[in-house]
């Protein structure tokens, strides 16, 4: 099956569409880890990079589609982002959330004003589709959507602008939308820069898929083992095609390494970071042998962390 990939033109159009609605986060040096720079998407109004794709997608809906409303399925971050973007554009929003999601993320979606439906993790996509069909809502999935991928790719454009001498970019991988977009932008403008996805060993479906050269789906029961709850989702055919064409590889990290990186970011960079957001930094700290040496930017994808987890990271 041939998949139509997005282009850097799509990413640049998204950058124009979201300007003024999304924070342009600044690349920061990690003085405690020489050679490492951080792209803290945890500083977005909803605490994650997801606001970029959600805003781009909602901006492209017709007035009639906005009036009917939007629906998605999300463990929390995309749900918050879509609820926020929908509120800006005056569109009703429904979020289907797996019942394993952290309470802090559920509360945040509710506080923004979205309607919430809690379901078992294996039912999230099907329930979102059912609501779309029954109510005439527009389904905007977390990553399996060209406008979402293009919006997330604006992270890559900003990395190149703020750190023109970057040599390696590390990006968390769950469903693959962020890595697809970032790799598209970076490789189009600076093909010599190496872009690696990073995921937990306990949710290593993307790593296995790229090694085999075909999309491999892990059971939801396996994916939920990782503490990185934002990465407990499989790739889609669309994101796999992007990663296969444009990533230089996938690096996996252990749960202990994720916890250690989270603690380091909280304590040394004074950032609120969720485990999903720490995996790219964990690769730099513990898997340097699996990547080229050189100036590296690690994307911190989000900071919507359970207070108990943050407390442990702050005192570890």
Longest alpha-carbon distance in the chain? 54
- Of the candidates 50, 105, 187, 194, the residue annotated as catalytic is 50
Alpha carbon distance 54, 315 (integer Å)? 34
Asked about 50 being catalytic, the answer comes back as yes
Query: To which residue do tokens 């970029």 refer?
Result: 52
Residue 7: CA count within 13 A, CB half-sphere: 2
Asked about 301 being catalytic, the answer comes back as yes
Alpha carbon distance 34, 239 (integer Å)? 32
- For the chain, the C-alpha Rg in angstroms (whole number) is 18
Burial (CB count within 10 angstroms: exposed 0-12, middle 13-18, buried 19+), residue 47: buried
Residue 303: CA count within 13 A, CB half-sphere: 19
Q: What single DSSP character describes residue 31? A: T
User: Looking at the annotation, which residues are catalytic?
Assistant: 50, 301
């Amino acid at each position: 099956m041939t998949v139509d990939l997005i282009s850097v033109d799509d990413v640049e159009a998204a950058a124009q569409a979201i300007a003024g609605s999304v924070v342009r986060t600044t690349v920061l040096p990690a003085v405690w880890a020489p050679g490492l720079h951080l792209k803290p998407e945890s500083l977005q109004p909803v605490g994650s990079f997801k606001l970029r794709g959600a805003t781009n997608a909602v901006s492209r809906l017709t007035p009639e589609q906005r009036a009917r409303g939007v629906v998605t399925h999300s463990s929390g971050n995309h749900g918050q982002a879509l609820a926020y973007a929908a509120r800006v554009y005056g569109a009703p929003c429904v979020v289907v959330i797996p019942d394993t999601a952290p309470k802090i993320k559920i509360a945040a979606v509710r506080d923004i004003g979205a309607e919430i439906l809690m379901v078992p993790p294996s039912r999230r996509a099907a329930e979102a589709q059912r609501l779309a069909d029954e109510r005439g809502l527009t389904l905007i999935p977390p990553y399996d959507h060209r406008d979402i991928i293009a919006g997330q790719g604006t992270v890559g454009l900003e990395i190149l602008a703020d750190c023109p001498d970057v040599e390696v970019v590390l990006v968390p991988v769950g469903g693959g939308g962020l890595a697809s977009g970032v790799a598209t932008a970076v490789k189009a403008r600076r093909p010599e820069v190496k872009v690696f996805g990073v995921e937990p060993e306990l949710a290593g479906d993307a790593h296995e898929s790229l090694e085999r050269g075909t999309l491999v789906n892990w059971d939801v029961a396996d994916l939920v083992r990782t503490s990185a709850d934002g990465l407990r989702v499989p790739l889609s055919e669309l994101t796999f095609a992007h990663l296969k064409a444009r990533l230089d590889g996938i690096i996996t990290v252990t749960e202990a390494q994720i916890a250690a990186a989270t603690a380091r970011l909280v304590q040394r960079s004074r950032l609120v970071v969720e485990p999903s957001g720490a995996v790219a930094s964990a690769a730099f700290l513990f898997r340097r042998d699996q990547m080229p040496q050189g100036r590296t930017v690690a994307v911190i994808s989000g900071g919507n962390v359970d207070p108990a987890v943050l407390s442990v990271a702050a005192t570890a």
